[in-house]
């Protein structure tokens, strides 16, 4: 590492070495699914902090049997349909990039890293301790060391059941009516109307 790198922040170094001809902010790059420098955008930091606060307020209101606890959830996520329920606690990166359809139930300890959009359809059942992870880090160790990050959206179709502890990786789409067995790690798209299990998750039969 040269003297210039010691004097620069990771963001300054990245702007010079990776983003010379890209006038966008890191947040604009992030939302486009392109590489960006995490933690170097004031708007993203503000929205992330707001997300942490709303998750906490939603949890505390639910514990205290506040009949209006759902107002915090509605402020947190980008959209949520009628008769859907998310059982706290839940954990998000931002919250605003999460979209939940109608009549969906999400059990406790959802971790939804919504760097870009996470879309959950109608009539879904999401088990406890599920992780929906959109972030992508470079395989090459040098840009990873330089704190580059990107993300790919996740789409969960209608009437999908994710068993407890399922991990859905960046860029995955799960088709309508499919069932993902507990503890599975979904690394690739899963078609509609199947049962899939394992690590990596594989289709074992049709429905």
Which positions are catalytic?
A: 137
Write out the E strands in the chain. Answer: 36-37, 79-80, 85-86, 90-92, 98-100, 105-106, 110-113, 118-120, 125-126, 131-133, 135-136, 148-151, 154-156, 161-162, 167-168, 173-174, 179-180, 185-186, 194-197, 202-206
Q: Among 5, 9, 44, 47, which Cα is nearest to 24's?
A: 44
- Please state, in angstroms and as integers, the Cα–Cα distance from residue 56 to each residue in 62, 77, 90, following that order: 10, 14, 9
**CB burial string 16-26: b at 16+ within 10 A, e below:** eeebeeeeeeb
């Amino acid at each position: 590492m040269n003297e210039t790198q010691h004097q620069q922040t990771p963001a300054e170094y990245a702007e010079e070495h990776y983003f010379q001809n890209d006038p966008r902010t890191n947040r604009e790059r992030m939302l486009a699914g392109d590489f960006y420098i995490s933690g170097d955008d004031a708007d993203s930091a503000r929205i992330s902090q707001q997300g942490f606060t709303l998750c906490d307020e939603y949890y505390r209101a639910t514990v205290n049997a506040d009949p209006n606890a759902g107002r915090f959830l509605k402020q947190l996520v980008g959209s949520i349909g009628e008769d859907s329920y998310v059982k706290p606690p839940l954990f998000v990166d931002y919250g605003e990039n999460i979209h939940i359809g109608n009549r969906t139930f999400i059990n406790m300890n959802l971790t939804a890293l919504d760097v870009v959009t996470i879309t959950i359809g109608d009539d879904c059942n999401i088990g406890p301790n599920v992780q929906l992870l959109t972030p992508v880090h470079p395989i090459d160790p040098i840009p990873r060391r330089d704190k580059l990050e990107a993300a790919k959206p996740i789409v969960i179709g209608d009437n999908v059941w994710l068993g407890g502890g399922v991990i859905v990786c960046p860029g995955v789409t799960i088709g309508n009516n499919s069932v993902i067995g507990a503890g599975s790690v979904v690394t690739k798209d899963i078609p509609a109307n199947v049962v899939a299990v394992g690590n990596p998750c594989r289709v074992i039969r049709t429905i």
